[in-house]
Structure 1
Amino acid sequence: MLYDVIIIGGSYAGLAAALPLARARRQLLVIDAGQRRNRFAEHSHGFLTQDGSRAADIAAVARAQILAYDTVQWLDARATGARPTEEGFAIDIEGGATRRAKRLILASGVVDTLPDVPGLPQRWGRQVFHCPYCHGYELQQGRIGVLATSELAMHQALLLPDWGPTTLLLNGCFTPDAQQLAQLQARGVQIEAGAVREIAGHADAVLADGRVLAFDGLFTAPRSSVESPVARALGCEMAEGPMGVVLQTDALKATSVAHVFACGDAARFGGSVPLAVGDGTMAGLAAHRSLVFAAH
């Protein structure tokens, strides 16, 4: 079968991309490997009408609504590669048959590389976060730590005092200059220069000298990367920024490869559910319009 569109990634961006295509009665296949980026967080915040809902429930309801359209099919699998064809694209599936489509939307998300600090991975998405807008309010003005991974930690440290008294844990990553020190002081941010040995307890930073700084929550900036064999196989251009690498797209979510679109965390720096949904909607609309106007 030749689908109108194949969407690789069935999380928030991919599901949002599917909806306008399904409503246009286009033949659509969603291929999903089942690894939502926010799978470690129990609840999602900041998404209008869904603030505080279980993250998994938002995705499950969206999937059920998409699959109610009879032109949509779903495949629980991993896409391992792709190549152009005369009709569009052929997508290789791990352990399965090749699927073909006229258009392709990449919504496969990113992989986060966390700071190499013992105890941090077990608390990721629960007591350790990356987005203050997603998780800051729930700390109820409690004590907040920012674990630096680079000078980018300044951004989080200057934002977070609106959510609680904040301490910047430099952890040997950088030394603030005079201007940065003045900015931190103006925002009331405390500075801890000592190395962090591990994260223990609820969200306690255990320093190399044995001191323990107790926090209600910690924030840090992981390095993200697009681990998409499909994007690599097709030669999609990447954009590098301070937080990692994403797929380069234009305002309509088109990649550097004709008829390939990308959306969600894989195609923007900084991630949240509402941003992913908006991105996906635009990608779905753009893919549909490319099908319509390419025919004339």
Structure 2
Amino acid sequence: MEHDVIIIGGSYSGMSAALQRVRARRKVLVIDAGERRNRFASHGHGFLTQDGVAPDVIVAQAGVQLAKYPTLSWIEGKANAAKQVEGGFEIATEDGRSFTGRRLLLALGVKDHLPGIPGLAERWGQSVFHCPYCHGYELDQGPIGVIGVGAISMHQASMLPDWGPTTFLTNGSHEPDKEERELLDRRGARIEPSEIVEISGKADVLLKDGQVLSFAGLFVAPRIEPSSPLAQQLGCEIEDTPIGQIIRANEMKETSVPFVFACGDVARMAGSIALAVGDGAMAAGGVHHSLMFR
């Protein structure tokens, strides 16, 4: 095998895992397609020592630090095929190259499937968000809108009053029952049942009944799925969650396929830089344990 571990995905969780393993002097290959989930956001938050720093800057700093380790190899490209071979795994890239490794770590990231509301996608990461812990504080307690996409939106609508006056724009997706209405009332969130026509300006919502509601920011829960079919190719178990599909992994981040590990947003129900970095470190520990003892 050319490498001790191949890591697919060079964003926060993948880089974190790579750092742990090269510090153990293991041969690590990272294959990265360069499509970070938060590439639309201008600033990252909630990550100690990097609060408010642009994601591009965080990634660049990490890259400089990783490049100092001689057992690291980094490939810019997209992995499009994975299979088990004797002694490990073989990964093929779109440009026709192939690589082998004893262990495989999927730090694939996820695709966000946004509701098809005109004007929403253009504002994703700028004034439309999914994580209040990452972006709620910067709205400075201004009015917040939650765009309904289903029952999961109730969770967002009940959380967000901690960051500002909140309106739950149900948009025909979820009709709160009596208990849910009581919860929203206790939390100080109002319900707006009219359908959304479009979003304009910074976060101005035109409703079907003619109202235009202006917000400091909007939140929506996109449906997610792994950004690559590699896990399915390998036979890894995929878990359906309230927010979409993730790769099922145990406490050491090993999947249902022995010696295939997964970390970051693709293997957990919550996404942030801090969580991804921690998840990558945990997965690296699982990989190293398997290399030493199995």
Which TM class, normalised by the smaller chain length? Answer: over 0.9
CA contact (8 A) 1:79 1:229 kept: no
CA offset at residue 68 of structure 1? 1.0
Q: CA RMSD in A?
A: 0.8
Determine the structure 1 residue equivalent to 2:109. Answer: 109
Match of residue 67 from structure 1 = 67
Instruction: Name the counterpart of 1:46.
Output: 46
Q: Secondary structure at the match of 2:161?
A: helix
Q: Which letter does structure 2 place at the counterpart of 1:250?
A: N
For 1:179, the equivalent position in structure 2 comes to: 179
Deviations 1:229-288 (A, max 9, x none): 321210110111110000000000000011010000010012000000000001111111
1:85 partnered with 2:97: no
Task: Write the letter of the residue equivalent to 1:207.
Answer: L
- Please give the per-residue CA displacement for 1:137-174, whole angstroms capped at 9, x wherever unaligned: 00000010000000111111111111000000010011
The yes-or-no answer on 1:2 pairing with 2:2 is yes
Equivalent position of 1:131 in the other structure: 131
Q: In structure 1, what residue type is equivalent to 2:275? A: L
Compute the displacement of 1:96 (Å).
2.9
1:56 Cα deviation from its structure 2 partner:
1.1
The residue type paired with residue 192 of structure 1 is: E
Superposition deviation, residue 126 in structure 1 = 0.3
Shift of 1:120: 0.2
CA distance in 2, matches of 1:160, 1:23: 40
CA distance, structure 2, for counterparts of residue 77 and residue 93 of structure 1: 7
Match of 1:225? 225
1:96-133 deviation per Cα after TM superposition (whole angstroms, max 9, x unaligned): 31100000000010000001100000000000000000
TM-score between the two structures when normalised by the length of structure 2: 0.99
Q: Distance in 2 between matches of 1:242 and 1:108?
A: 20
Letter matched to residue 118 of structure 1: P
d(CA) in 2 for partners of 1:208, 1:138: 29
Kindly indicate whether the alpha-carbon contact (under 8 Å) linking 1:13 and 1:264 is maintained by their aligned counterparts in 2: yes
Query: Partner letter of residue 258 of structure 1?
Result: P
Match of 1:158 in 2: 158
What residue ranges of structure 1 are gaps of 5+ in the alignment? none
Which secondary structure state, in structure 2, belongs to the residue aligned with residue 99 of structure 1? strand
Q: Per-residue displacement from partner, 1:70-106 (whole Å, max 9, x unpaired)?
A: 0001000100111111120010111131100000000
Q: For structure 2, list consecutive stretches of 5 or more residues without a partner in the other structure.
A: none
> Following the alignment from structure 1 to structure 2, what is the Cα–Cα distance between the partners of residues 33 and 14?
12
Partners of 1:174 and 1:229 in 2: how far apart?
31
Question: Which residue number in structure 1 is paired with residue 291 of structure 2?
Answer: 291
Which residue pairs with 1:268 in the alignment? 268
Runs of 4+ in structure 1 displaced over 6 angstroms? none
Which amino acid is the alignment partner of residue 236 of structure 1? Answer: C
Q: Which amino acid aligns with 2:29?
A: L
Match of 2:32 in 1: 32
Which stretch shifts more, 57-66 or 238-247?
57-66
Amino acid paired to 1:266: V
Partner of 1:280: 280
Note the C-alpha offset of 1:8. 0.2
Aligned-residue sequence identity (percent) comes to 54
Structure 1 range deviating more: 214-223 or 285-294: 285-294
Return the alpha-carbon distance in structure 2 between the equivalents of residues 245 and 151 of structure 1. 16
Distance in 2, Cα, partners of 1:75 & 1:253: 23
Map 1:249-268 onto structure 2 (within 5 A): 249-268=249-268
How many residues are matched? 294
Deviation digits for residues 201-222 of structure 1, max 9, x if unmatched?
1101100122100001000000
The residue matched to 1:288 in structure 2 has which SS? helix
Q: Which amino acid aligns with 1:63?
A: G
Task: Give 1:156's aligned amino acid.
Answer: Q
Contact 1:145 1:217 in 2 (8 A): yes
- Asked if 1:118 corresponds to 2:107, the answer is no
SS of the aligned residue for 1:141 comes to: coil
Q: What is the CA–CA distance in structure 2 between the aligned matches of 1:227 and 1:39, rounded to whole Å?
A: 14
Tell me how far apart the structure 2 counterparts of residues 4 and 174 of structure 1 sit (CA, whole Å).
Answer: 48
Aligned to 1:208: 208
Q: Which residue of structure 1 aligns with residue 195 of structure 2?
A: 195
